[in-house]
Structures are given as structure tokens and as C-alpha cells.
Amino acid sequence: MGRRVAIVGTGHSKFGVRNDVNIPELAYEAISKAIADAGIERKEIDLVVTGYVGGWSSEGLAPVVIMEYAGLTGKPGYRIEAACATGSAAIKAAHDAIAAGEADIALVVGVEKMNESPTPTVVEFIGRAGNYFWEFENFGLTFPGYYALYATAYMQKYGATEEDYCKVAVKNHYYASMNPKAQFQRKITLETCMQSRYIAWPLKLFDCSPITDGAAAVVLASEEVAQKLTDSPVWIESIGASIGTSNLSKRTQFTNLEAARLAAQMAYKKAGIDPENPVKYLDVAEVHDCFTIAEIMAYEDLGFAKRGEGYKLIRDEQTYIGGVIPVNLSGGLKAKGHPLAATGVSMAVELANQLLGKVEKGRQAPIKNGRAIAHNIGGTGHYAYVTIYSLSKPRSPA
């Protein structure tokens, strides 16, 4: 039986186009805040896990450069990569090391500086994260194209509209306007989204997450250490993870992500949550809205809505504060930004602060159950991580 693990410190950089800093400086914005928030010294850290996809940045071995700059050389550490789910994979790796007794305190940082490469290069690199030979090389699929396949299939099967997709963007920009760390701190109207140019029909410019530079960090600790460091640990109650097929042709349908559904079922089972009614147990969610259709599919894969009815939640504004379950109060990937490896860690930072009542006025969810959920997808469903965070000590280790 492993040990319980908690978040005891969080840090977050400003997301956006960060030409004012290099990659170690960007990472240090989050690292320094997380260490200070935990109230620890660097020498107390037993393990460093860095999430980093890279390819677009000048630093090929960015994690080593980052640790040197942060004064953390000499520590055990490693780099994790799981596409857009890298941040959650890094948290799981650190969590598992602590649970196994290999470390008492671990620092997790996710960072990307994607704007060091021109947009066409970034689009190509991300497109290669599908199945290179069958999809990118032969058919030229990019990620907007991948998710456009999901969007059109969902519209045809269930009757969703382009307006429904744009309503996701409107919600997420609304909450990002109150988030000082977000890349886009401005509201948009439905008309603004609907009138924006198509990127891959039916997905328009405002249906798509941006290219982002950013970093986020958390300090994790074992139960014994966490209770010495803080009166308000945020526990990692459960983690579910699943891998999907690389090749889209091996998938049976295009209206949900099976890996995400399976990861959610695992997380719910470990936490004792009824998968038929998870919103009864949860206060707030951060989901992987790389494109607006992805958020709607997440509603269904997580069990917030029945299959084919996820679009009705956003149509009826049920994923705003005051609805069935508030989703992406940070602004989500859509408006907060999506620096690939930082995203899952950013979700952890956001949800820890939501549970502790520490986010900005206007985007703080009511906390009644003391539980939050993060849904982080790599690729088009190649990787899926679902993590449940709790104010209450888990009944058993995650």
C-alpha cells in the first residue's frame, strides 16, 4: 500500500507570447513561487520532474538548463513527455515516487516556449504528434483538421451547431478576462466567434487554442511531510490514465475519446465516485479544450452529460458558475493558453487554488464537496489523464 500525496505549494507564470524571458527564466517564475508557497528550501526537495515537449525551443535539453538556473542540480530528476498531457503525466510520475517511498518532497514543473518557432513550424510539429506516416505525411492532417473530424461527426450525429461550439469559447474568454495569468484577458461575443475565419471547417479561429509560452509548478509531499508544512493540503485523491490508438482509422467512432472515458472510470472507481452521477461529488472541473468540440466531448466522457447531450450543457449555460458544474474557470486552454507541457500542471494549480478559495473574484467556484477534477488529453486521445483533487484526506492512497 502506497503513501498518500498532497499538493503543498503552487506557482504559475503569466501565459502568452513571452519574448521578455528565456526558457529557464520562464520556468523559474513558476518554480520560485511554488517553493515559496510550500515554505520549503531547495535542499529539502528530493526529486524534480520536468514536463517538456519541446522541439520549437532553442534549448534541446531544457530541463537540465532549467534546473541549473533554479539552483536544483544534484537532485534526482527526469523529463516526462506525453504530448499535451505531459503535465499530468509528470504529476503522476512524482506522485508515484512519493507514494512508493522514493521521495518525501517532489517538485513538478511543466514549461514550453512555443513562440520561439514560427507558427507553420509549430503547426507541423503538433501535426506530427498524430500518426506521422498514415495521417500527417500522406494526408496532411494538422490538429485543427483532426478535431474538425470530431466536430463534424458530432454535429451530424447529435445535432450540435457551430453556435454551440462558439458558446464554449464565449464562456472561457469570459472567465479568462478575470484571470491575470491568462493569455487572452478579454471577453468575446458569440458574434465575434461566429464571424472569425475558418481554420478547419467547422472550427473557426476562436474555436482553437493559441500557441503559448508558459510554465506552472507544484510541490508535492508525502502525508507526514504535508501535514507538517500546511494546515490546508490539497490531496491527490485518484488518478486514472489510458492510452488510445495512434492511428485514427483504428477508432470506432469520432464523437468521443475512449481513452478519456476509460481514464475517468478508473479515477472515479479509486475515489468511490458514482460514474453515473459524478457531478454530485465534484465542485469544479478543468478540461482539455484544445478546441471547443473537445470541451463538449469531455462533458460526456467525464459523465457530466449523457452521450450526445454535452452540447446542451453549454447551450443552457450549465457549465458556468451556478450551473450543474463549472468548467474551465481559468479560461481553459482556449483562452488561458496552452503551453503543452505546462497545461496539466496549470490545471493542478488552478484546481488547488479553487478548492482553497484563493482565485480571483468572479471566477471562484462555490466549494461544497471539496473535490475537483482535471481532464488532460495528449494528442487526439493518444493519452488521457483524469485526476481528482480533494480537501479531504483520501480513504486510501491514489
Active site residues: 84, 338
Q: What is the spatial distance between Cα 352 and Cα 209, in angstroms, rounded to a whole number? A: 23
Please give the span between the terminal C-alpha atoms of the chain, in angstroms, as a whole number.
10
Q: What is the spatial distance between Cα 237 and Cα 272, in angstroms, rounded to a whole number? A: 10
Instruction: Kindly give the pairing relationship between strand 47-51 and strand 105-113.
Output: parallel
- Please provide residue 360's backbone torsions phi and psi, each rounded to the nearest 5 degrees: -65, 150
Cα radius of gyration (the chain): 19
Q: What is the spatial distance between Cα 331 and Cα 174, in angstroms, rounded to a whole number? A: 7
